[in-house]
A and B are shown apart, each in its own frame.
Chain A
Amino acid sequence: MGQFRDGAANEIGVQCDVQRNLRLDEGLKSELSRQGIFATTLQDLYNWGRKSSIWPLNFGLACCAIEMIATTMARYDLARFGAEVFRPSPRQADLMIVAGTVTKKMAPQVVRLYNQMPEPKYVISMGACAISGGPFKQGYNVLKGIDRYIPVDVYIPGCPPRPEALIDAFLMLQRKIDAQQLTGAGRPRHLDANEASEFAVPEFGAHDLEPPQNPAVWRPPLVQIETAKEAGGDGA
């Protein structure tokens, strides 16, 4: 649906789906609210409830965990954004902030914890180590990024990232949740029965984890650079 025509019967091709059509005019909304009437859509209300009370899992691995703790302390209070309580049990948490280096010995535990979290769940990859192995990338026991086994929503670069950066990532996650459409193809994972919410736990092999990465979740990014170099381009 959704084609509007102006006075001269020309098509102003505006494609919009059902939810957008229901967006009320902002002026009308503020006028109503002055009268004591609060108007919203069910999706906005649902997303507002979800984004305003994201409870993180009490999960810090290394140095970034200390900055995470500092973010919850009095100066950079994260609780005012909704992360009121850090839950010790994954069954009661919405968000896993992977703060610190994920080693290969710890990787199965991280994936198990992720699997134990109920949907909807989110992952913030905090710090260079959780993104890609960071300064310890050459290590034989270091997993080169937690996104090899679980899907990540927000990445925070830094070593360690400042508490303000973690707050920024938290707000980014809130905006991401706010923009989620509840129906249609782009709906979030917890509303889609076909999407997996648990991922394979890696095993300890003789020399490395088995498998070294989960192909359903991660693919090494390189092919574009190859072709540019092969085509005699100026290279990366």
Chain B
Amino acid sequence: MSAASVAGEVMEELDAAVRPADDFGEQLLEVSMGPQHPSTHGVFRMNVALDGERVMKLKPVFGYLHRNHEKIAEQETYLGSMPYTDRLDYFCSITNNWAYALAVEKLAGITVPERAEYLRVITGELTRLQNHACLIGFLLQDMGASGTPLMYAFREREKILDLFEALTGARMMCNYMRFGGCRVDLPAGWLEQARGVVAGFPKFLDEFEQLLQSNEILMERTQGVGVLSKELAINAAVSGPMARASGVNYDLRKVDRYGIYDRFAFRVPLGAHGDVYDRYMIRVLEMRESVKILEQAMKEIPGGPIVDPKTKIRGFRPKPGEAYGRIEAPKGELGFYLVSDGSANPYRYRVRPPSLINLTVLEDMCLGRNVADVVIILGSVDIVLGEVDR
């Protein structure tokens, strides 16, 4: 035996001791992102299995804000559930109210007077404006812009919240809709103030565009990231701006034509790639379309009653039956499914949450991408946990 072969054997033994028998490269790192995390838009948790930085598996965990809205609604009267709908998607309380009022009006066959319809459109589109602005602010914060676009967005949001407070008495939980119309009519001077806010909005959007649109970091981080195909979007019932960014031409304001939306001229922006950049751009373009709708509505709003005089408020007992009513909420298709057994409380009260359904495809969009992309993709889905967990 030569010295070299002995040395070779010793080296082999040492090598075997240092390198374990199983392949180190196949171990996946399991990370729990959330429920407390600066970027998860609420108490949302994702169990992510990583190979280095790449996502191999992603399983969302829900329920951290499950507040039993549906069970409580079975014990409340129909009208008693209206303030609870405020707290579903807590950014957009007015559109939540509208969806619920629409479902009950379908269930009981209640009509809405014209002025109330205009008020619904005006407040609904103002809600859409502030929701999309805040979403862009949060998305940019997730990308690392550390709050500055968010500050700009909240500046505009405060102006709109001032309008809501003057009209309904509350900044966020407006509780504005009633079955057959709205709760309260416009105070004096409200329309002028609203016109001022809406007139200033395009300037804010131009400012945003100037600062963000050609920003290299934004483009690098969002283009081609989190692609959602059109077929999967339809099959997974993805709705709202997220579906339209994948090219699905389905906007409930044009399809169902609920309320008086067929009187307004507005376009539906569609995306070609279905990536995060498209979802961001769709929301910017939708804000411009909302401004157009608002200008038209505020010009045409007629006088008249704001609630159907024949609706029964006390002792409201719809006949037995069921109804599914849905609207184009800022996050997607928000639907309410109500089953009535003839009593004052609903037998079954179901919220169809757009945020939860849109999250069905989160894993598909994130597979193979980096952890940093997961945060941005989640931000572009636009979720609110109050709606996901109800």
Contact = CB atoms under 8 A, between A and B. Distances in A.
Interface of A: 58-63, 65-67, 69-70, 73-75, 88, 90, 100-101, 103, 105-106, 109, 113, 135-136, 138-142, 159-160, 162
B154 interface: yes
Given A105-B63, A135-B83, A142 B38 contact: no
A100 B84 contact: no
Contact of B87 (A88, A90, A135): A135
Instruction: Kindly name the residue among A90, A105, A113, A139 whose own CB sees the greatest number of chain B CB atoms within 10 A.
Output: A105
A73 B151 contact: yes
A93 to B, nearest CB: 11
Interface range for B: 20 to 34
A81 B18 CA distance: 55
A60 B171 CA distance: 18
A24 to B, nearest CB: 42
Nearest to B45: A109
Contacts of B68: 136, 138-142
Nearest to B66: A141
A160 B66 contact: no
B151 A159 contact: no
Interface string B116-139: 000000000000000000000000
Contacts of B67: 62, 101, 103, 136, 139, 141-142
B36 A105 contact: no
A70 B36 contact: no
A135 B43 contact: no
B90 A75 contact: no
Nearest to A65: B42
Given A73-B154, A109-B36, A139 B173 contact: no
Contacts of A109: 35-36, 64
B383 to A, nearest CB: 13
B91 interface: yes
B155 A75 contact: yes
**B75, B155, B171, most chain A CB atoms within 10 A:** B171
A101 B65 contact: yes
B212 to A, nearest CB: 18
Given A109-B35, A162-B171, A74 B155 contact: yes
A75 B158 contact: yes
Nearest to B389: A103
A88 B84 CA distance: 30
Contacts of B319: none
A136 B67 CA distance: 6
A74 B154 CA distance: 8
B344 interface: no
Nearest to A113: B36
Contacts of A66: 90-91, 172
A103 B36 contact: no
Contacts of A73: 150-151, 154-155, 158
Given A62-B42, A105-B64, 19 more contacts: A58-B36, A59-B36, A61-B64, A61-B65, A62-B87, A62-B386, A63-B87, A66-B90, A66-B91, A70-B154, A70-B157, A73-B154, A73-B155, A74-B155, A75-B155, A90-B36, A105-B66, A135-B83, A138-B68
A5 B66 CA distance: 65
Nearest to B34: A109
B385 interface: yes
